Amino acid sequence: MTDNQLTALFQRIHQDHFPRRRRKIEARFYPYRSLRHTIEWNPWRIKIKVSQYFHTAPRHILEYVAVILLSKIYKLPVDRELRREYRIFLDELAGQIPRQKPKQPAGYSPMGKTFDLQGMFEQLNKLYFDDKLKQPLLGWSKNRSYTRLGFYDAQRNLLVISRIFDDSRVPEQIIRYLLYHEMLHIFFPTTTRNGRRTIHSPAFKSAEKKFPAFDDIQKWIKKNLKKFI
């Protein structure tokens, strides 16, 4: 499938599933070294990058990818059976990809203009994890992402927080929470069972809600996020 065909597929799925939404869509295969896909959007446009390893995937699998990614931006649930079939294909495909030695990510620094992730990681590790977490590479994101507030990439051993929060107007507790959330991904690794992938397990969610002022932090992020775009 070509990039143009992939774009046409995403456009059709968007029209079929979200007919009231009007956005220009651009989709292409991207040379990610893993099976990840990414999606970026604003009120007018959606940009999708699909892992290069899906270039020869069956058409129905690419349709599943489209449904899953587009449902994500509209915060809508995805049919459980669809997601299960997708996970089964993903696990099978993962076994066919030659393992490569991860490259050390460059360009990330824990020291921002306002906040230092290094010191916060050490404090949180001692306070909530008994110093048991092995520190990954820490850094502020290279771009100002407001759709991905943070992430932990186990393959690259990389933990990143969006640099939109490296701002003197942001309470330090917000940064600590975002960092804590990604640290939980280290403590509670993603699991796969019967073709179903669990990223946020019940234990993960329970631990996350124990963070001080959890509800207030969620409200702050929802209320103030657009101020930093």
Q: Is the pLDDT of residue 24 over 70?
A: yes
- Predicted pLDDT at 99: 64
State the Cα–Cα distance between residues 188 and 182, nearest whole angstrom. 10
108 in any annotated domain: no
Q: What angle do CA 189, 191, 129 make, to 5 degrees?
A: 20
Is residue 129 packed enough to be buried (19+ CB in 10 Å), middle (13-18) or exposed (0-12)?
A: middle
CATH no. for residue 7?
A: 3.30.2010
Q: Which two tokens stand for residue 35?
A: 């099976």
Q: Are residues 206 and 170 in the same domain?
A: yes
72 and 121, same domain (yes or no)? no
Same domain, 130 and 82: no
pLDDT value, residue 117: 95
Q: Mark whether 42 and 133 lie in a shared domain.
A: no
Provide the whole-model pTM: 0.57
| CATH number, domain with residue 182 | 3.30.2010.10
Q: Would strands 158-161 and 137-140 be described as parallel, antiparallel, or unpaired?
A: parallel
Q: Given a cut of 60, is residue 220 above it in pLDDT?
A: yes
Strands (E), the chain: 24-30, 38-41, 45-51, 137-140, 150-153, 158-161, 191-193, 196-198
pLDDT band at 225 (very low <50, low <70, confident <90, very high): confident
**What pLDDT is recorded for position 100?**
59
pLDDT of residue 125: 95
Residue 80 lies in a domain: yes
Where does the pLDDT of residue 145 fall: very low under 50, low under 70, confident under 90, or very high at 90 and above?
confident
Average pLDDT over residues 180-203: 86
Q: pLDDT tens digit string along 76-119? A: 999 999 999 999 999 888 888 766 555 556 678 899 999 999 99
> Is the pLDDT reported for residue 12 higher than 70?
yes
- Residue 60 and residue 16 share a domain: yes
Q: What would the pLDDT profile of 172-188 be if each residue is shown by its tens digit?
A: 999 999 999 999 999 99
Q: How many CB atoms lie within 10 A of CB 95?
A: 6
HSE of 25 in the Cβ direction (CA atoms, 13 Å)?
A: 25
Q: Are residues 48 and 142 in the same domain?
A: no
Residues spanned by the domain of 53 = 3-94
What percent of the chain clears pLDDT 90, i.e. is strictly above it?
A: 62
Please check whether residue 107 lies inside any domain of the structure.
Answer: no
Residues 80, 88: contact at Cβ < 8 Å?
no
Domain identity same for 150 and 187: yes
pLDDT at residue 199, as a whole number? 86
Query: Which of 94, 127, 162 is at the close of a domain?
Result: 94
Looking at residue 97, what is its pLDDT? 77
pLDDT at 1 over 90: no
Residues of the chain with pLDDT > 70, as a percent, come to: 94
Domain boundary among 28, 59, 94: 94
pLDDT band at 126 (very low <50, low <70, confident <90, very high): very high
**Domain assignment of residue 11, yes or no:** yes
Residue range 74-88, pLDDT digits in tens: 889 999 999 999 999
Clarify whether residues 141 and 59 are in a common domain: no
Residue 104, pLDDT score:
54
What are the strands, taking DSSP E only, across 70-141?
137-140
**In this structure, are 167 and 84 located in the same domain?**
no
CA 163 to chain centre: 15
* For residues 20-27, average pLDDT: 90
Q: What was the pLDDT predicted at 229?
A: 52
